[in-house]
Amino acid sequence: MTKPKTIGKGTVDFKQEFASSKATNAQMINNRKIINGDDDGLMQVYPLKHPEAMTIFKAQLANTWMPEEVEMTRDIEQWNKKGHLTDRERTLFKRCLAFASNLDGILTDSLVTNVSRHVTSPEVRLVLARQGFEEALHVLSYAVMIEALSMDSEEIYGMYRQDKVLYEKNRHVLESLGKIAHPDFKTGTFSGDQTFLEACVTYQILEGVYFFIVFLLFYILKRNNKMPGSAEMIQFINRDEDLHVRIFSFMINTIKKDQPELWTKEFQDKMASHFKSSAELEISWGIHCMGDGVLGLNPVNIRQYIEFIANTRMQAIGLPPAYKARANPFPWIDEMTQGSMIETNFFEGRVREYASGTLTWDE
């Protein structure tokens, strides 16, 4: 007799389940986990085990926007008007565009191909699918900016081949994601699960630290009445990224609750040094983009800013903050992001437990 073909990605064999399993929906939902849970692959999300994921998904849908709708007329005038932007501002604008485009390109591809295939909570996979779509929209946003400003696309897209600092930053990102990208990589063992958790921390850094110099530089231009359409595009992207940080914080914290044995002291120390080396890379990137200073930004205050953000991201997943910075040196950014950039209380997502057979649950 041939073995039934397994459909789905978790411990539930779809065909077996259909034919003979006595598992109820309530049992399956109670066994639902971010990784290594029961999952028949049919995306039957309700009732929810992870309502925080559905809250995020609905917030993503409410945030729907289109890059082509952003008004770029003033940017076109300013970009083409000699002397409106200094040479340094033009250089940093192009470098920011190049890096952000590279990183969103990497994320578009890797979320679905590397992360989602290991996730066994359908409601979390909904968020990741939408997140992949949003990263694709971000790639389109940079293309819209390049086209609107009649920039040399080869100069922007090919910059990583010419600019050693950008090349090294991209290489670091790809190497960080490499472990779970291997086709043989699997969860289900201590080391596999720890590697997946490490990858989630890496995504939290990519989404929550590595974009933030770029965002800051676009915002400081807008604050000085330069390139307002581009900054508006970045505001939309920033709003999406806030939710991406939130989903990875939720995934990390939930995996920690499900499998506390993974969160060893050694692992925490490794993640803390991961944050610190990433923050240093982001600060060096900022200095590379702007030189010794531009429009009030300088190596000292951008360091404070990135250290503050890194602290916030670390606290969101239960790591002690690595830096002294306790306040945002640029509080005016809140006006640009409707106060949503830094949220400290969003990460305590609830997990519901179902009463078997009734599909009701206790809060």
User: Residues 142, 157, 160, 210: which is the catalytic one?
Assistant: 142
Nearer to Fe ion, 131 or 311 (CB): 131
3-state secondary structure of 35: strand
Calculate the dihedral angle through the C-alpha atoms of 89, 94, 96, 100, rounding to the nearest 10 degrees.
160
Residue 334 beta carbon to Fe ion: minimum distance, rounded to whole angstroms: 20
For Fe ion, the closer of residues 135 and 193 by Cβ is 135
Cβ distance to Fe ion smaller for residue 244 or 313 = 244
Other CB atoms within 10 A of residue 45 CB: 19
30 closest CA partner among 50, 57, 5: 50
CB of 203 to Fe ion, least distance (A): 8
User: Which residue, judged by CB position, is nearest to Fe ion in the bound state?
Assistant: 244
Q: Which residues here bind Fe ion, judged by CB under 5 A?
A: 104, 135, 138, 207, 241, 244
316: nearest Cα among 267, 269, 246: 246
Closest contact distance (angstroms) between CB of 135 and Fe ion is 5
- Nearer to Fe ion by Cβ, of 56 and 294: the residue is 56
Provide the H-helix boundaries in the chain.
14-19, 25-30, 51-62, 73-80, 87-110, 122-148, 153-157, 159-162, 164-181, 190-208, 212-223, 228-258, 265-290, 299-316, 333-336
Residue 231 beta carbon to Fe ion: minimum distance, rounded to whole angstroms: 16
- 78 or 114: CB nearest Fe ion: 114
What are φ and ψ of residue 294, in 5° steps? Answer: -155, 130
Tokens of 201: 């921390």
User: Minimum CB separation from Fe ion for residue 214, in Å?
Assistant: 10
Amino acid at 274: H
Return the DSSP state at 262: G
Closest CA to 101 of 58, 137, 54: 137
Q: Is 323 noted as a catalytic residue in this protein?
A: no
* Residues tagged active-site: 142
